Amino acid sequence: MVAVGLQATASLPISIRSITKRYGAFTALDAVDLEVDSGEFLTLLGPSGSGKTTLLMVLAGFIRPESGTVLFGERDVSLAPPHKRDVGMVFQNYALFPHMSVAGNVAYPLKLRSIPKAEVGRRVREALELVQLGTLGERRIDQLSGGQRQRVALARAIVFEPRILLMDEPLSALDKKLREEMQIEVRNLHRRLGLTTVYVTHDQREALTMSDRVAVIDGGRVRQIGRPRDIYERPDSRFIAEFIGESQFLPVVLRDGAAWLDSHRLAVERPPPTAQGAHLLVVRPEKLTVLPAADSGHGLNLFEGTVKEVVYQGESSLVYVSLAGGLELSVRRPSRGADAVPVAPGAPIRMGLAPADVVIVPAELHP
């Protein structure tokens, strides 16, 4: 490993307090509150138009909100211009100078800050080593691949040792394989530098892979924030369950402290919500187990139906099942070892859902 002098010895926490941003009558950010811990990798995940870029631009200082406060550590930066905020920024389109050399691009933020020439050379070399472009300093940007350009953009964002790093869909232009490699590289870079990082993506897998925590945004509001596993396993609304991973919903009624699917009382590990009335059971296809005929499925919540269709998808198959009462469920079965219980269209099928995997959300999209 290369000895690298670049460090973020003093990364800072971020406090976003009641930030509202309007474009005319349209509210792009609606009283957003968000705390990012020092050194944390936090991802803003949300559908197109949900306000992710707007929030990032508010943090960078390119957009001035109507109200609210942004603190970097103790410092209120709400009114500070971008160049006084000490944040590194990676834009979606790289925003590199195409005819300048790699080294020239990376040196740019240092020149803006009037860093002495010898120091510039050293820091540029270090930053390029860090993103594994040590040998390409003299190349022109238009002679680089997409992944290499992305790394130049990263080097440029960290070369002046910012205390906060903001990235807006930095990998979206790359093909799947390169994107997955770069995800690991960005993550490793974050581990080494420990920079407080706010990362924007609309790719849920990327968010789950890379983040310490994920904040899911929709309609200019943070709808749920948590560690990737909590967001996936414990969605607290229909929107989150639908947006992240594959979910199917069965109507349940909450009554007398229990959840009822028709006349069946669901076996649950955690008590169901205390509200009464119509709710939804969230069932992810991979949480269901297909039970052999002899297996009574003791302790599991059982679903019986008829196999409608089996769709082979490579590493797994999706089995579509019709339940009684016109409801449908699909169950995902790994291709390997999947022959234990054969399934064929038209055949009866029994599936089990463990009490630990029961998730119940209100019926409205956003409660």
Ligand X SMILES: Nc1ncnc2c1ncn2[C@@H]1O[C@H](COP(=O)(O)OP(=O)(O)OP(=O)(O)O)[C@@H](O)[C@H]1O
- Judged by CB under 5 A, does residue 301 bind Mg ion? no
DSSP string, 161-175: --SEEEEESTTTTS-
Contacted entry of Mg ion, ligand X, none for residue 1, CB cut-off 5 to 8 Å set by kind: none
Helices (H) and strands (E) in the chain — how many of each? Answer: 8, 20
CB 29 within 8 A of CB 51: yes
Contacted entry of Mg ion, ligand X, none for residue 247, CB cut-off 5 to 8 Å set by kind: none
C-beta neighbour count of 135 within 10 angstroms: 10
- Judged by CB under 5 A, does residue 43 bind Mg ion? no
Decide whether 23 or 299 has the Cβ nearer to ligand X. Answer: 23
Decide whether 53 or 183 has the Cβ nearer to Mg ion. Answer: 53
- Binding residues for Mg ion, rule CB under 5 A, total 1
Least spacing, CB of residue 24 vs ligand X, in Å: 7
Residue from 363, 83, 22, 41 nearest 210 by CA: 41
* Contacts of residue 86, Cβ cutoff 8 Å, sequence gap at least 6: 72, 162, 163, 164
Q: 8, 14, 32, 46: which one contacts ligand X (CB under 6 A)?
A: 46
Q: 11, 43, 53, 247: which one contacts Mg ion (CB under 5 A)?
A: 53
| Rounded Cα gap, residues 342 and 336, in angstroms | 13
Q: 16, 19, 28, 34: which one contacts ligand X (CB under 6 A)?
A: 28
C-beta neighbour count of 318 within 10 angstroms: 16
| Largest CA-CA distance found in the chain, in angstroms, rounded | 77
- Judged by CB under 6 A, does residue 52 bind ligand X? yes
Decide whether 16 or 110 has the Cβ nearer to Mg ion. Answer: 16
Q: 1, 23, 293, 344: which one contacts ligand X (CB under 6 A)?
A: 23
Site residues, Mg ion (CB under 5 A): 53
Site residues, ligand X (CB under 6 A): 23, 26, 28, 46, 48-54, 202
